Amino acid sequence: MSAPELDGRATWPRIRPAVRHRVERAILREMPTREDAPIRGRDPSRPPARPAPPVLPGDDPGSIAIAAERLRAGGLVVFPTETVYGLGANALDARAVAHVFAAKERPAFDPLIVHLADASAVGTYAEMEDADDPRVARLAARFWPGPLTLVLRKRAVIPGIVTAGLPTVGLRVPDHPVARALIRAAGVPVAAPSANRFGHLSPTRAAHVVAGLGSRVDLVLDGGPCRVGVESTVILLAAGRAALLRPGGLAIEAIEAEIGRLEVLVDGAPRTAELAPGRAGAHYAPRIPLVLADPRDPEAAPAFVVRPGERVGFLAASAAGRAAAEAAGGPFAAVEVLDANGDVVGAAARLFDALHSLQAADLSRIVAEPVPDVGLGRAVMDRLRRAARAAGDAPDEPAVNR
Ligand code: TXA
Ligand code: MG
C-alpha cells in the first residue's frame, strides 16, 4: 500500500493475514489475565469456539511493555481510555493504520484520532499556526488529559490514511493511566478509533471488545470499565475557526467558557459532511429498532404499550422515569436505568453498557427515555438520536458509523 498518498476515499485497506503473530499470541494467551476464567477453564485439547485475543491487565508494567512493543512492530493494541476503549496502531505507520480500518470494517473516509502522551507533542503533528493558536494552549492546559479532541491542520508526518485524506488531524491526550503509559512506552503517537466494529456500539469494557473484535486485534489491555463512558468531544480549531464536530465527554458549556461560542454544524449539510465525515449518518445502528419517548408525554403513550408476543426493552434516564414507564405501559422484558437520580454524567457513564445489555436481551424493540439536553446529556442525546434515526432508516441503506 503506498501509504502517505493513499486516498482514503478510493481505497479499502486489505485485511491482513489472520495468522499474523500467531505464535506470540499463543504464548500471551497462557499468561494470567483478569478475564482468563473462560480460557483457563477450557479443555486444552479442544480449540476455543471463537478465537479470543490475549487480554492483559493494564496496570501491570510488563503488559504495557509487551503492548508498546506490539504497537512499534505494527500491531493492533486495544487500550482503555476514560471515554471508551480504543483500537490503537502506530499513527506514523500507514500499514498498521490500514489494519485498524480493516479490523473495524470502517469506511476509509472517516478519519482517526491521534492520541498523545502529553500536550507538548501537538507542535510535532499540527501546523505551527494552529499549534500556536492561544486557544489550543488554553484548552490543553484546562482540559488535557481529558475527553477533548482538537482538530488542527496536520503536518506531513501524519500519513494521509490516518486523516482519510483530510488536511486536518484530530489530537487528544487521554486521561487514563494505562493509555498514557502505553503511548509513552511506545514512543509513538497512537491512532485509535473506538474499539468496536463499524455499526456497533462503542466498548466501555474489555469484554465488549473481546466479543466484538475477537482475534482481529493482537492484544487487549484491560483497564476495567471506562469512567466517562461516551467518546470525546471533537472541536475544529483549524485556521482560526471554532466549530463543534461531535458532542462528547467534555461539556460544550465548559469549552465555550474558555474560548467563546462554538459554531454548530447542521447534520446533513454539505459543509458538515466535508468538515466532519463521521457525522455523515448514524452513530450506532442498532439491529433492534429504537425510539425515543418520554413516559410522561401522553402523545408518546403508544410506544409504551406492549403487544402480545412483543419483547420490549426500556432505557430509563432515572428511577423516576422507570416508574413512569411502568405506569404508562409494559411489562418490559428488560429495563436499564442510566442513573437513579437522573444525573447526566452518570447517564453518560452507563450509556453504552446499558445498550450492550439491552442488545443482548433478545428484544423486538427498545424505548429510550430522553435525558436533559445539557452538559454530558447532549452527548447522550446525540448518540440516542442517531440510534433512533438509524433504526428508522431503510434496512438496506447502510448507516455510516464510526
Ligand atoms: O473518546 C474518543 O474520542 C475515542 C477514544 C478511543 O479516544 N475515540 C473515538 O474515535 O471515538 P472514533 O474514530 O470512533 O471517532 C472519532 C471521530 C469521528 O467522528 C471522526 O470523524 C472525527 O472524530 N475526526 C477525527 N479526525 C478528524 C478530522 N481530522 N476532521 C474531522 N473529524 C475528525
Ligand atoms: Mg467510534
User: In this predicted model, what pLDDT tens digit does every residue of 222-260 receive, in sequence order?
Assistant: 999 999 999 999 999 998 899 999 999 999 999 999 999
CATH class of 290-392: alpha beta
What's the pLDDT score for residue 285? Answer: 67
Ligand 1 atom closest to 234 (CA): 23
Least confident of 11-25, 151-165, 207-221, 360-374: 11-25
CA distances in angstroms from 34 to 48, 163, 316, listed in the order given: 18, 34, 31
Looking at ligand 1, which atom is closest to the CA of residue 164? 29
Confidence (pLDDT) at 389: 83
- Closest atom of ligand 1 relative to the 277 alpha carbon: 21
Q: What is the pLDDT of residues 102-141, one digit of tens each?
A: 999 988 889 999 999 999 999 999 999 999 999 999 999 9
> What does the alpha-carbon distance between residue 146 and residue 175 come to, in Å, rounded to a whole number?
5
- Flag whether pLDDT at 393 surpasses 50: no
pLDDT at 356 over 70: yes
Fold of the 22-279 domain? DHBP synthase (3.90.870)
Mean pLDDT of 314-326: 98
Cβ-contact 143, 250 below 8 angstroms: yes
CA of 171 to the centre of ligand 1 (A): 9
Looking at residues 351-360, what average pLDDT do you find?
Answer: 94
What residue's CA is closest to ligand 1, atom 29? Answer: 169
Return the residue whose CA atom lies nearest to atom 31 of ligand 1: 276
List the beta strands (DSSP E) in 241-292: 243-246, 263-264, 290-292
- Distance, CA 100 to ligand 1 centroid (Å)? 13
| pLDDT reported for residue 265 | 84
Domain with CATH 3.40.50.11030 in the chain: 290-392
| pLDDT the model gives residue 109 | 87
- Spatial neighbors of 142 by CB under 8 A, at least 6 apart, are 258
Any idea which ligand is nearest the CA of 163? 1
* Ligand lying closest to the C-alpha of residue 229: 1
**Residue 23 CB: number of other CB atoms within 10 A?**
9
Supply the angle between the helices 344-359 and 377-392 in degrees, to the nearest 10: 30
Location of C-alpha cell 462528547? 248
356 CA from centroid of ligand 2 (Å): 15
What is the position in ligand 1's atom list of the atom closest to the CA of 194? 14
What is the Cβ-side half-sphere exposure of residue 394, based on CA atoms within 13 angstroms? 2
Q: What is the pLDDT of residue 60?
A: 96
Is residue 304 helix, strand or coil? helix
DSSP code, position 27: H
Rounded to an integer, what distance in angstroms lies between the CA atom of residue 90 and that of residue 68?
Answer: 10
Q: Is the Cα dihedral 271, 273, 274, 276 positive or negative?
A: positive
Residues of the chain with CATH 3.90.870.10: 22-279
Q: H or E stretch including 382?
A: helix 377-392
Measured from the CA of 231, which atom of ligand 1 is nearest?
1
Indicate which residue's Cα is closest to atom 15 of ligand 1. 193
Looking at per-residue pLDDT, the higher value among 27 and 190 belongs to 190
Span 323-338, average pLDDT: 97
297 or 270: which leads in pLDDT: 297
Give the residues surrounding ligand 1 with Cβ less than 6 Å away.
Answer: 81, 83-84, 86, 110-113, 147, 149, 151, 163, 166, 168-170, 172, 174, 192-194, 231-232, 234, 245-246, 276-278, 402
Which of 83, 85, 149 maximizes ligand 1 atoms within 8 Å of its Cβ, making it the mutation to test the pocket?
A: 149
Cα-to-centroid distance, 301 and ligand 2 (Å): 33
- Looking up cell 466532519 gives 276
Per-residue cell: 65: 511493555
Asked whether 193 and 89 are in contact (CB, 8 A), the reply is: no
Three cell numbers at 319?
428511577
Q: What percent of the chain has pLDDT over 70?
A: 83
* Alpha helix positions (H), 205-334: 206-213, 252-259, 270-275, 319-328
